[in-house]
Amino acid sequence: MSDYEYLIHTTDLCKSYGPHMALENLNLKVKKGATGLLGPNGAGKSTFLKTMLGLIQATSGEGQVLGHDIRTEGPAIRSRIGYMPEYDALNPEMEAIYQVKYSGELLGMNPTVAMSRAHEVLQYVGLGEQRYREIGGFSTGMKQATKLACSIIHDPELIIADEPSNGLDSVAREFMINTMQNMVNAGDRSVMMASHLMDDVERVCENMILLHKGKLAAQGKIADLKDIDREIEIHVWGNASKLEEKMLSIGMVVRREGRIMRILHESEDITTKILACAAEVGSQIRRMHEYEASLEDLFIVIMENLGYEIKTSEDLLRSPVHARQVDAPGHMGGGS
Ligand SMILES: Nc1ncnc2c1ncn2[C@@H]1O[C@H](COP(=O)(O)OP(=O)(O)OP(=O)(O)O)[C@@H](O)[C@H]1O
Ligand SMILES: [Mg+2]
């Protein structure tokens, strides 16, 4: 076993497809545990994961996965990592058990061991009963579970999953997320999962990496990144527009939806200031509490605040006020 400080470590990593830069100067450090890889369509998530597995070659820069060089040690990396690809690579005519066994054999396991492990992992992903059925008749959720079983047959220390809950109905999605959580918490394995679904990432992952157009937009602990973004929510009775104007005029950062406003928690005396403003314009504050931002809120704020520079949580800390000048996300009724 090689020694390593980070599961994944890249230095100025670039990947281009012809003239198109899919990954640009990525400097990443991924620690043990669960990390969500976020970013809009085409951000470079799948390209990044495949580059880490040595399945596609980086154009320039360096990378190590579990201490192995991505340029020269692809096979060693793949033998220690479980990879659940974005697209279906399953054989519809195979029974699940043989498909899973086969992926073990491809990794060099002996057929007997591969078979006994195939039974175990199919059970683990919830397909114990269906293991002798042909994959062609499986639902999307069962196919995703089969892909997961294939990826964990050799009990890897790191599982890389590209959109694991994509296309699943709520029951299958719940099961997939529970399985991921279980691998991390009870199984003490690390996971890196690419996803569009903030809720899924938030439930499984402690850390996140956000890519945008091939560049690093943010990396860090989700809790730390969210913490810089604290807001006070107030429910206002009377003169809401006047109150909003007043608060804006003294430099407070306010997001308003009707009688509900969220004010950036930029100083310790923020509640005193809010109450003073309300008294001055004759508004009543019916409720006042800390608003807990979701990962979705954070995502939108970061995306708005990008400027195509690297934003670590520290960078964001330096410009939280600026980061707040956005509409509320759609699910909170904000503008599009
Ligand atoms: N084989 C390829 N040849 C040329 N361009 C490619 C290739 N694969 C990906 N790209 C381009 O590279 C960029 C990153 O693609 P990638 O699939 O890594 O994004 P992604 O973040 O995984 O997107 P999605 O959320 O849609 O899965 C996109 O602009 C894509 O069109
Ligand atoms: Mg992708």
The residues, ordered by sequence, that sit 6+ positions from 189 with a Cβ below 8 Å of its Cβ are 156, 157, 158, 159, 183
Closest ligand 1 atom, CA of 43? Answer: 21
2 is a domain residue? no
Mean pLDDT check: name the lowest of 75-84, 94-103, 156-165, 217-226: 217-226
Interval between CA 255 and ligand 1 midpoint (Å): 35
Instruction: Give the residue whose CA is nearest to atom 4 of ligand 1.
Output: 17
pLDDT at residue 333 tops 50:
no
Same domain for 241 and 206: no
Give dist(CA 156, CA 175) in Å, integer. Answer: 20
- Among 83, 188, 177, CA closest to 126: 177
Same domain for 293 and 281: yes
Q: Quick: pLDDT tens for 199-208.
A: 899 999 999 9
CATH number at residue 234: 3.30.70.980
Closest ligand 1 atom, CA of 194? Answer: 22
SS3 224: helix
243 is a domain residue? yes
Closest ligand 1 atom, CA of 47? Answer: 18
Backbone dihedral angles phi then psi of residue 154, each to the nearest 5 degrees:
-95, 15
Same domain for 109 and 148: yes
Interval between CA 214 and ligand 1 midpoint (Å): 9
Q: Please, which pLDDT band fits residue 2 given cuts at 50, 70 and 90?
A: low
Number of separate domains in the chain: 2
Give dist(CA 191, CA 30) in Å, integer. Answer: 10
Interval between CA 105 and ligand 2 midpoint (Å): 27
13, 23, 46, 86: which to mutate for ligand 1, most atoms within 8 A of CB?
Answer: 46
CATH number at residue 81: 3.40.50.300
Same domain for 146 and 48: yes
Averaged pLDDT of the chain: 86
Strand intervals (E) in 18-90? 20-30, 34-38, 60-65, 68-69, 81-84
Ligand nearest the Cα of residue 162 is: 2
Instruction: Give the residue whose CA is nearest to atom 7 of ligand 1.
Output: 17
Same domain for 231 and 171: no
The percentage of the chain sitting over the pLDDT mark of 90, rounded to a whole number, equals 66
pLDDT at residue 239 tops 50:
yes
* Of the residues 182, 201, 223, the one at which a domain ends: 223
Interval between CA 20 and ligand 1 midpoint (Å): 10
204 is a domain residue? yes
Give dist(CA 132, CA 110) in Å, integer. Answer: 20
Q: Quick: pLDDT tens for 246-296.
A: 999 999 989 898 899 999 888 889 999 999 999 999 999 999 998 877 777
Interval between CA 46 and ligand 1 midpoint (Å): 7
Same domain for 272 and 212: no
Mean pLDDT check: name the lowest of 11-20, 238-247, 295-304: 295-304
309 is a domain residue? yes
Token pair 């009963």 in the structure block, residue: 129
Same domain for 14 and 26: yes
Cα-trace Rg, the chain = 23
33 is a domain residue? yes
| Per-residue DSSP letter, 214 | T
Residues with CB under 6 A from ligand 1: 17, 20, 22, 39, 41-47, 86
Give dist(CA 176, CA 149) in Å, integer. Answer: 11
- Return the amino acid letter for 294: S
103 is a domain residue? yes
Range of the domain at 285: 225-332
CA distance readout (Å), 218 to 6, 26, 211, 248, 332: 17, 11, 7, 28, 23
96 is a domain residue? yes
pLDDT at residue 313 tops 50:
no
Same domain for 254 and 212: no
Same domain for 174 and 121: yes
Q: Quick: pLDDT tens for 65-106.
A: 999 999 999 889 989 999 999 887 899 999 999 999 999 999
